[in-house]
Chains A and B, each alone.
Chain A
Amino acid sequence: MTVTTDAKNGGGQPKPPPTDLVTLTIDGIEISVPKGTLVIRAAEQLGIEIPRFCDHPLLDPAGACRQCIVEVEGQRKPMASCTITCTEGMVVRTQLTSQTAEKAQRGVMELLLINHPLDCPVCDKGGECPLQNQAMSTGEAETRFDGVKRTFAKPVPISAQVLLDRERCVLCARCTRFSNQVAGDPMIELLERGALQQVGTGEGDPLESYFSGNTIQICPVGALTSAAYRFRARPFDLVSSPSVCEHCAGGCATRTDHRRGKVMRRLAADDPQVNEEWMCDKGRFGFRYAQRPDRLTTPLVRNAETGELTPASWPEALRAAAEGLTGARGSAAVLTGGRLTVEDAYAYGKFARVALGTNDVDFRARVHSAEEAAFLASQVAGHGVDLDGAGTDYASLEAAPAVLLVGFESEEEAPGVFLRLRKAHRKHGQRIFSVASHITRGLAKTNGTLLPAAPGTETDWLEALAGSDPALGAEGRQAAEALRESGALIVVGERLAGVSGGFTAAVAAAAATGARLVWIPRRAGERGAIEAGTLPGLLPGGRPESDAEARAEIAAAWGLRALPEAAGRDTAGIVQAAAGGELAALVVAGVEIADLPDPAGARAALDAVAADGFLLSLEQRPSEVTDRAHVVLPVSAVVEKEGTFLNWEGRARPFAAAIKPDQMTRRQTVPDARALQMLADALDVHLGLPDLPTLRAELDGLGEWRGALPLGPTATPADLPRPGAGEAVLAGHRLLLDQGLMQQGDDALKATRHAAEARLSPATAEETGVATGDHLTVTGPAGTVTLPLRVTDELPDRVVWLPLNSVGGGAYQDLGARPGELVRVAAQTSAASPATEEVNA
């Protein structure tokens, strides 16, 4: 029998050329595998399961546990099959055919168990434990050990989130190797010697890694447990469902485990094309927001007399909403936020055009620009793994010889992308360049090169890299050369929308260097929203709103005579129109006002609509929008509904509801699309989206746009602010773990946030009279933010960097300024510590 590996190709990549094969015999069965394959992997392909603990296919071999010992003909000693590669003509005998291997494996298993506590009945791992399972397959029923076991105090927190039980640990070094090799956070290490060897951290230096949860999942025993999950469920009581992470645009495959309708934990699922077997802590632990006691469960209608929101039945609420919206046709708008599934986004887009008669729908609850919309319409829409089969995917990202990041911090904004970049750097020396204000931890861990830029000057770098500007400097020249290599990439993030001319320059740089351009947004719903037609200027399927043919296609598909005429306005335009009293109605889904570039303006706009128009909110939990809304419709969280996210690759990530309606312990809510369908019915408008299959069939039936693409972005760089003494240009991005609403409900997760610090260059810090550790006060038009300072060498002078949503109400709200604008910086004056400090846990 001959078995060869044939890894599934993703992303329309050409099939890799056949690799050199070696043929060997395992337990008398011949097998051919690519050179370099480990014996344990080759055995797996034959269905021969060799027991193992330290072995993990995505970690470098360790050979520490010695559980996988096999006999190799011609070798003096039996060998660990997880450390030896297959060679031509090798004859391997596993426990199935070799007495020596069988005895060795039983011997190692006995030794592993002599110190292992018999606490399986209370251990989190019990029921899904590799040690438990393999003790059954490879161990003896009775132990011969009647000596003294080692005991340790337990549990020891190696971070606020990860607890260590040293008695259970088999010292396989999976956790330490993961942290060291994959995450690049070598904050846990094996300490001490011999029988006292143990996993540990440096004193006062906990495992502050965004990926710490993976160590819990790959621990082959119950030594590492999650503080939030510990002792809360048994594996055999859980119902597991494949799911997709709803946080970033990475689209990680996950597994959601619930018990009697309550999600207990989330694990990374194995998807070699996307997240391999990893996920970040935000994705792993950030699911309890949907379990908060303030979840909306019934529709709410504002009582005209008291002004209070009061619970209402669905028919009552739908009637009230329909009444409010009826007169607003043609002067209504929709804000959807960036977290909807493709299906829900499509329903909003269709609802806006069909029921509200408007093209004013935008998903961008963040800094945005018309230039960005033009970029997305011309460069992004319609392209992707599951769209036109083209575009960049994780595999080509990993294979790229060089990657330039602009307006994008991989570890903070798309951790799955960060892991791939780090892997690519480790495995084949991928060079990573970042146009950013300073060297972040994520950039340092990919051994990346900083191309330092003050906010607003990113375009200078892009223009210089596109040409062959002799003033580039050594690093710039390297980047310019590297980008011209075949397969090089330019990754742009959503923050580039804040830089006038940024996307224009990125497109030009890609054209000049031959590098492929890829846009990686921060939120899970953004990529899908473009295809669903909730971006101003775009109809579903990437059709330009301005193209008569495109409009006709959609109108025909929707059974309309024509689509609304007026060009759609973007979020800023909608907010401005609302504030000016131009909007009779506003429909808002999942938008956090503090995320908007001008929270104060947005509040004024909501107030205006609330006073003179009609404000409808579809939400999961109370928000600033529901506070003002006339009618609030409760909608499902991701675990309660079926849907699809489109990740940054344009790869469809469909998922079913993790908690089925009959498993719900709280009152059942409906997905946004269903609520909109009911609302349209109440408006006596035919939306035609009664259920998900119908919706999907309609969306698929639209097909892709084959007509002319809209023009690309054409914007010029804005005049740069000139900070004087005591002033600085604001720079910032959001940290992965911050005050985001979807991270609420897990204190352990909150405790692993990275410290919130402000950053200044040494010269500016000196000018300001502050040093590292001092408190820096940053003042904008709306107020101040005070944070401890870290003087950062590479930061451009008179630039102040802040984490955008780590303290207070977020930097936009507290300062009233956005990155690229001027703020004042000063040493903190009063000794009284401001309230914002306490948040920095």
Chain B
Amino acid sequence: MTVTTDDVKQESPRELLAPVLSAFWDEPESWTLDVYRRHGGYRGLAKALEMAPDDVIAYVKESGLRGRGGAGFPTGMKWQFIPQGDGKPHYLVVNADESEPGTCKDIPLLYANPHSLVEGIIIACHAIRSNHAFIYLRGEVVPVLRRLQSAVAEAHAAGYLGKGALGDGGDLEITVHAGAGAYICGEETALLDSLEGRRGQPRLRPPFPAVAGLYACPTVVNNVESIASVPAIMAEGKDWFRSMGSEKSPGFTLYSLSGHVARPGQYEAPLGITLRELLDLSGGIRPGHRLKFWTPGGSSTPLLTDEHLDVPLDYEGVGAAGSMLGTKALQCFDETTCVVRAVTRWTEFYAHESCGKCTPCREGTYWLVQLMRDIEAGKALMSDLDKIADIADNINGKSFCALGDGAASPIFSSLKYFRAEYEQHITERGCPFDPAKSTAWSDSATHQEVNA
């Protein structure tokens, strides 16, 4: 579900939101080129093409745009790392392999407004002097694949892509590639391996993709939202962009509210908005319940509790609270949720999705799943709590890529805030929660028997 500006107008102070990418998602056929152009689409491209590539890079750098995929690396800086005049082809690869539990921003964005990405790609390719861009899309979302393909075809027909698309910079082609549904392929170097036709496993760095990425050529790998934000920056200006958010985290971004929220969905707002404000906009936690814990940016970011409602949701603010902004996937859980159960499910996910390359992640998640299931089932010992904390510590920071860190996050953050609940599982020899109570239909009497 998407939130429209009209919805917001009726119920909440409009200035809290900053719909840019999501501004016209509620229009009929918002994904078409016509609608996109009617809303100012491809104006940024025209401006960018008049600028020298290096000026575009500098402009994006000055805008302060930071990567929206989770790490928050300055986008312009990434572009700057591409060696120029090296005689090799350059590639732009857009990471659309959105697979993090709770994360759901790129898929709706591409579904409703694919042209913002296409335009952003053309600008980025102009800047880094690339003549071929790839979109690596999560394989399961076939409707989005079709939308993307048709958007690329439309852009082709309109002359934005193809022969001479970049003027003096030459031609530009976009290849839309559907992955096979492995979480690891969202890691940028694993994504490159997968795109090259290999088994997706992270590569050793250095060399970094900027030096030897796709087919060993200089490559920029950016998140969908990062690239899609570029056209607006070019069209409206960097000062406009900087007028939103904070000094270090300027601009707008998509916040994905999910879980026990009255009106879940995409809320596009300046960086630095708080969860309290977002909950105010979205009707709060579902009626009759209160927030228990939440993730600021998907399951890989250490979870937070209701004491963190006023943490500014930007890179610095969430970092200071001991977590990470991540993908801004705000999964909210109310007091009916068993944190042990939630963490067990996440751990199962990480064990299933571990690529197997390095020992800590492969073996650690394999072990953690067994222990978490035992704890949830009340079959564990009190010493097992120290054990999982220790295993999480042995994974965190020791694994090959950040996936291992992500797998450890829910364990140690939940232990930090809810150790008592873990202990309760052990002392009471079972889970004190009724799983049915946390389902969406728990408060209506009719669906109680569903095995959630």
By a beta-carbon cutoff of 8 Å, the part of chain A in contact with chain B is 61-67, 69, 76-78, 83, 103-104, 107-108, 110-112, 114-115, 144-145, 147-148, 150, 170-171, 189-197
Contact = CB atoms under 8 A, between A and B. Distances in A.
Given A145-B367, A171-B356, A190-B356, A195 B398 contact: no
Interface stretch (B32-40, B358-366, B426-434): B358-366
Contacts of A63: 204, 358, 400
Contact of B354 (A61, A67, A69, A193): A193
B394 A65 contact: no
Given A145-B367, A195-B366, A77 B204 contact: no
B370 A77 contact: no
A194 B204 CA distance: 18
A78 B370 contact: no
B182 interface: yes
A45 B352 CA distance: 41
Contact of B362 (A67, A104, A191, A195): A195
B74 interface: no
A110 B395 CA distance: 12
A104 B393 CA distance: 9
A806 B236 CA distance: 76
Contact of A196 (B356, B358, B390, B393): B356
Contact of A194 (B362, B387, B393): B362
Contact of A110 (B354, B371, B394): B394
16 contacts: A66-B398, A66-B399, A69-B398, A83-B204, A103-B393, A104-B398, A107-B390, A107-B398, A108-B360, A111-B360, A190-B199, A193-B353, A194-B351, A194-B353, A194-B362, A195-B365
Nearest to B368: A147
Contact of B355 (A62, A108, A194): A194
B9 interface: no
A193 B359 contact: no
B355 A193 contact: yes
Contacts of A192: 356
B237 interface: no
A560 B120 CA distance: 93
Contacts of A108: 359-360, 394, 398
Interface in B133-163: none
Contact of B204 (A62, A78, A144): A62
B289 interface: no
B182 A111 contact: no
A115 B359 CA distance: 11
A154 B357 CA distance: 22
B354 A195 contact: yes
| Interface SS of chain B | helix
Contacts of A147: 367, 370-371
A112 B363 contact: yes
A148 B362 contact: no
A190 B362 CA distance: 14
A66 B371 contact: no
B83 interface: no
B397 interface: yes
Given A64-B357, A191-B199, 9 more contacts: A62-B204, A83-B204, A103-B394, A107-B391, A107-B398, A108-B398, A115-B363, A115-B366, A170-B359
A64 B354 contact: no
Contacts of B371: 147
B363 A66 contact: no
The 10 residue pairs across chains A and B that have the minimum distance between CB atoms: A107-B394, A197-B356, A111-B363, A147-B370, A194-B354, A77-B397, A195-B366, A194-B356, A66-B359, A104-B398
A112 B355 CA distance: 16
A194 B365 contact: yes
A145 B384 CA distance: 10
A170 B358 CA distance: 10
Contacts of A170: 359
A191 B352 CA distance: 15
Given A112-B363, A115-B366, A194-B365, A65 B351 contact: no
B182 A193 contact: yes
Given A78-B398, A104-B398, A67 B359 contact: yes
Contacts of B353: 193-194
Contacts of B358: 63-66
Contacts of B351: 194-195
Contact of A64 (B359, B370, B397): B359
Contacts of A112: 359, 363
Nearest to A53: B359
A192 B362 CA distance: 12
Nearest to B400: A63
Interface in B386-418: 387, 390-391, 393-394, 397-400
A107 B363 contact: no
Nearest to A195: B366
Nearest to A146: B370
A45 B446 CA distance: 73
Nearest to B356: A197
A107 B356 contact: no
Nearest to B397: A77
Given A64-B400, A69-B398, A197 B362 contact: yes
Nearest to A83: B204
Contacts of B399: 66
B367 to A, nearest CB: 6
A150 B367 CA distance: 11
A775 B387 CA distance: 66
A466 to B, nearest CB: 35
A114 B352 CA distance: 18
Contacts of B367: 111, 114, 145, 147
A107 to B, nearest CB: 3
Contacts of B182: 193
Nearest to B363: A111
A379 to B, nearest CB: 42
Contact of B397 (A78, A190, A193): A78
A46 to B, nearest CB: 23
A171 B366 CA distance: 15
Nearest to B370: A147
A64 B354 CA distance: 13
A121 B352 CA distance: 33
A34 to B, nearest CB: 18
Contacts of A115: 363, 366
Contacts of A111: 359-360, 363-364, 367, 391, 394
Contacts of B366: 114-115, 150, 194-195
A83 B397 CA distance: 15
B105 to A, nearest CB: 26
A758 to B, nearest CB: 34
B405 to A, nearest CB: 8
A144 B387 contact: yes
B364 to A, nearest CB: 6
Query: Most chain-A Cβ atoms within 10 A of its Cβ — which of B352, B355, B358, B393?
Result: B358
A64 B352 CA distance: 18
B274 to A, nearest CB: 27
A191 B357 CA distance: 11
B104 to A, nearest CB: 24
Contacts of B204: 61-63, 83
A195 B356 contact: yes
A66 B357 CA distance: 10
A197 B356 CA distance: 6
A196 B354 CA distance: 10
B406 to A, nearest CB: 14
A195 B359 contact: no
A301 to B, nearest CB: 66
Contacts of A195: 351, 354, 356, 362-363, 365-366
Contacts of B352: 194
A112 B367 CA distance: 11
Given A147-B371, A190-B199, A194-B366, A66 B354 contact: no
Nearest to A150: B366
B99 to A, nearest CB: 13
Contacts of B356: 171, 190, 192-197
